[in-house]
Amino acid sequence: MLFCIPGFVLLAQWISMANLQQGAPEEKEKAAALKDLLSRIDLDELMKKDEPALDFPLTLEGFGYSFNEKGQLRDIKTGEPFVFNCREDLHRWNQKRYEALGEVITQYVYGLLENECHLQKIMIPDDATEEEPRSFIFMSEDALTNPDKLLILIQGSGAVRAGQWARRLIINEDLDSGTQIPYIKKAVDNGYGVIVLNPNENYIEVEKTKEQPEPSSDSTDEPAEKRERKDESLKETKKRCDVYEKYRNPQKEKETEQICIKDNSSPEEHVIYVWDHFISKANAKYIFFVAHSYGGLAFLEVLLQREVEVKSRVSAVALTDSVHNVWHQEAGKSVLDWLQKHCCNWVSSAEPLDTPVESMLPDCPRVSAGTERHELTSWKSFHSIFKFFSKALEAPNAEARSTPTVTTRSSNRIKHEDF
């Protein structure tokens, strides 16, 4: 609840400060301190209504939204798209509401992966005790037994979890553009096994236990009266800090600490763990990756750490606006040569889909994803990526892989009508 101060009280303080400035040096110091305090107060914020409780629903229906037949999030009553500014002048509350809705959507997508895509939820690490935190991935039933093809999906960094490309797209556009579901369905229809990674599930948060204050040292050299004055001064300082904190953060959330998930405490660790315990043990003759944004960096780390294995098993890698950097990650010539032959990066660009894009880095071919929006690159390049995989299957032992065919502006326009 916002800490409100009536205007006349502030006016009185200003007058008091003016009087203090006329006095002795000690009074001027007090005036300076009061001026500093008042400078921190946002009068507009103080005059706003109290902030509602940060207590949000646990279901889409509770938020008043549902996904329609086109996979678009719509208001149940009005049919209107999602509105961020639900409460005017309450940006913090609106942001917390958006994040809470995002958590509900994450659970909703998990349900789609299991019920609509028929994937299985696999807990990791498999050797964790009941007391240890765990994460999970999703796999098709034949992910490890399919003798032909296996597709691995890796999203970027941030709040997105397994099965998502971009939360913003799910909320403001639709499920097709924001989730990995179209990739999963097409892969299954074309005989692929599928593994959906979850690289951002790296820890759990638990509420911090309150630490007991340490007993103050009772120095015999210090007079009791002086100690009492010091204690009173500390209490007053803490009281002022608490009041200021209440104003700045009216609904102070619980303090939490993070407990890392063993062998999965970072996206890179997670992808390496899944490679070692699942992908490397799969029967598939041809393994393919789609990695978006930071997922591309995580894939390159696996390639660097497990170079011989990856190069012998992976047929092709489709990156979408990847943020990997072969210089910073210290990729050697053998890795660079392999990337040139087996990878392609669909980057955000104003050029038509599949138009070659120049790069300063000597890693893999770059082509336009047909959009300048970073989060849309995986969706806009969807059809081109599967064509890229088909070409890799046609010549799995070729020394070089072909980059996607360059399209004209007219053919690109027709192709985008489907989106």
Q: Match 């008042």 to its residue by tokens.
A: 38
Find the angle CA(351)-CA(357)-CA(363) to the nearest 5 degrees: 150
The set of residues, in sequence order, having a beta carbon less than 8 Å from that of 198 and lying 6+ positions away, is: 135, 136, 137, 138, 161, 162, 270
411 is catalytic: no
Of the listed 293, 348, 378, 384, which one is catalytic? 293
Question: What angle in degrees, to the nearest 10, is found between the helix axes of 7-21 and 25-39?
Answer: 150
Tell me the three-class secondary structure of 232-252, residue by residue. Answer: HHHHHHHHHHHHHHHHHCCCC
The set of residues, in sequence order, having a beta carbon less than 8 Å from that of 117 and lying 6+ positions away, is: 138, 140, 181, 184, 185, 188, 194
CB atoms within 10 A of CB 41: 16
Contact criterion met (CB below 8 Å) for 270 and 198: yes
**What gap in Å lies between CA 28 and CA 32, rounded to an integer?**
6
Tokens of 395: 């010549």
- Nearest-Å Rg of the Cα atoms of the chain is 28
Taken in order 326, 331, 332, 335, the sign of the CA dihedral is negative
Tell which residue, 202, 158, 168, 151, has the closest CA to residue 293. Answer: 158
Q: What totals of helices (H) and strands (E) does the chain contain, helices first?
A: 16, 12
Find the angle CA(118)-CA(124)-CA(125) to the nearest 5 degrees: 160
**What gap in Å lies between CA 358 and CA 285, rounded to an integer?**
32
Residue 125, preceding peptide bond in cis (omega within 30° of 0): yes
**What gap in Å lies between CA 298 and CA 82, rounded to an integer?**
33
**What gap in Å lies between CA 280 and CA 288, rounded to an integer?**
12
Tell which residue, 173, 402, 183, has the closest CA to residue 292. Answer: 183
Q: Which residues are catalytic?
A: 293
